[in-house]
Structure 1
Amino acid sequence: MKTVSVCFVCLGNICRSPTAEAVMRRLVDEAGLTEHLEVDSAGTGDWHIGEAPDERAQRAGGQRGYDLAPLRARQIAEEDFRRFDLIVAMDEANVVALQGICPAAERDKIRLLMEFAPQAEARVVVDPYFGGDAGFETVLDQCETACAGLLAALRPQLMVE
């Protein structure tokens, strides 16, 4: 089996992208693919480097069995574009920021998470940071749906030797 690597990216790496990372890690674990799918997350900004995810994200995730506490924010770096097979952004602003630092040869790796949830009405995962707890529930709903779609999309690649 081949190994595939995915990095989820949002603005500060404390709400949406660590939530997506935790959701994807569990899906990968449940599918028995931990050795074949590397999952990480990062932010386009540097404001929260080294910090744990937002407490509201941790609380919402914890209520669904996701442990975000061990995750720490980091900023995306140019070498990530070579390291990861797929860079999955939460919204268009993240895509633009990623394209600004991405080597030209690696730009095809950048995708929107919600592309993997074709039945969803929303095209982006809305930033819940300045809202209430309901926003973090919405992020979880979106991440669960889109990460399941992403895993389904990646399965054929994992089977190629």
Structure 2
Amino acid sequence: MVCLGNICRSPLAEGILKSKLPQTNFLVDSAGTGGWHAGEQPDKRSIAVAKKYGIDISTQKARKFTISDFDTFDFIYVMDKSNYADVLALAKKDHHKKKVTLILNELYSGKNVEVPDPYYGGEDGFEHVYKMLDAVCDVIAKKVLR
């Protein structure tokens, strides 16, 4: 799960997907295309909305996406077109590029719908993003559990 700073959208996506998959069989993580929040907790509003739905993301720490993530993960879900371009720019192999997908394309195939960044908005933006990510993580969980 990749967003810009790894403090709002991708930590939520990580926490939501982890809650839908058996922990022993899957590695779910998140990162940002920028590293300026590395080592920080998710935004307090992301923590709060996740907690509202019974998910604790407070122990997550932000990190920057690295080239080695292409080898570590089978699927790389990005939140928006900017994240998509940034991650693809790091991919050196075709099979790495094929791992990268706009996350909402799992719900709206080929529509390239973006998950909005709620950082500069209010609490309602985080609620909206949570609901979007919860719906798409249902689809992703079913896909990987097949």
TM-score scaled by structure 2?
A: 0.94
The ranges of structure 1 where at least 4 consecutive aligned residues each deviate by more than 3 angstroms after the TM superposition are none
TM-superposed deviation, 1:117? 1.7
Gaps of 5+ in 2: none
CA distance in 2, matches of 1:23, 1:134: 18
Q: Which residue of 2 aligns with 1:83?
A: 72
CA distance in 1, matches of 2:33, 2:112: 21
Query: Residue 111 of structure 1: SS of its match in structure 2?
Result: strand
CA distance in 2, matches of 1:72, 1:145: 24
Q: Which residue of 1 aligns with 2:144?
A: 154
**Residues 105 and 112, structure 2, Cα contact 8 Å, conserved in 1:** no
More strand by share: 1
Gaps of 5+ in 1: 1-7, 157-161
Q: Which residue of 1 aligns with 2:56?
A: 67
Q: Deviations over 1:43-94 (max 9, x none)?
A: 0001100000000111111111111100000000001111111110001110
Counterpart check, 1:117 vs 2:72: no
One-letter code aligned to 1:15: C
One-letter code aligned to 1:56: R
One-letter code aligned to 2:90: I
**Residues 37 and 62, structure 2, Cα contact 8 Å, conserved in 1:** yes
Q: Which residue of 1 aligns with 2:7?
A: 14
TM-superposed deviation, 1:122? 8.0
**Residues 10 and 44, structure 1, Cα contact 8 Å, conserved in 2:** yes
Identity, % of aligned pairs? 35
TM-score scaled by structure 1?
A: 0.85
Q: Which residue of 2 aligns with 1:130?
A: 120
CA distance in 1, matches of 2:32, 2:103: 14
The count of residues paired between Structure 1 and Structure 2 equals 144
**Residues 81 and 103, structure 1, Cα contact 8 Å, conserved in 2:** no
**Residues 20 and 147, structure 1, Cα contact 8 Å, conserved in 2:** yes
Q: Which residue of 2 aligns with 1:34?
A: 23
What is the RMSD of the two structures over their aligned residues, measured on CA atoms?
1.5
Q: Which residue of 1 aligns with 2:34?
A: 45
Q: Which residue of 2 aligns with 1:93?
A: 82
**Residues 9 and 89, structure 1, Cα contact 8 Å, conserved in 2:** yes
In the alignment, which of 11, 18, 28 is matched to residue 25 of structure 1? Answer: 18
